[in-house]
Structure 1
Amino acid sequence: MRQGGFSLVELVVVMGIAMVLIAIGTLQFNEYSRKNAIESQAKKLQADLLRTKADALLQRRDRAVTFSSSQYSIYSSSVTTVGPVQQVAVKNAISSDIAGQLVFEKSGLVTDPSMANRAICVGPSGNRAAVDSVVITDTQIRIGKWSAGNCEMANITLK
Structure 2
Amino acid sequence: MIHLNLFGKVYFQTDTYSLTNDLLAILRLPYRGFPASKMKISMQDKIGLSIQKALLKKNTYWMKEQEKAYLKGDNLLARQAEEFYPQLYPPQSEIGFCQIKMDYLSDYKRFCRYYNNIKNKKVQTLHPPIFYDKIGEKKIRRL
TM-score, normalised by the number of residues in structure 2: 0.28
Q: Which has the higher contact order (CA 8 A, sep 6+)?
A: 2
Q: Comparing both structures, which one devotes a greater share of its residues to strand?
A: 1
Q: Which protein is richer in helix relative to its size?
A: 2
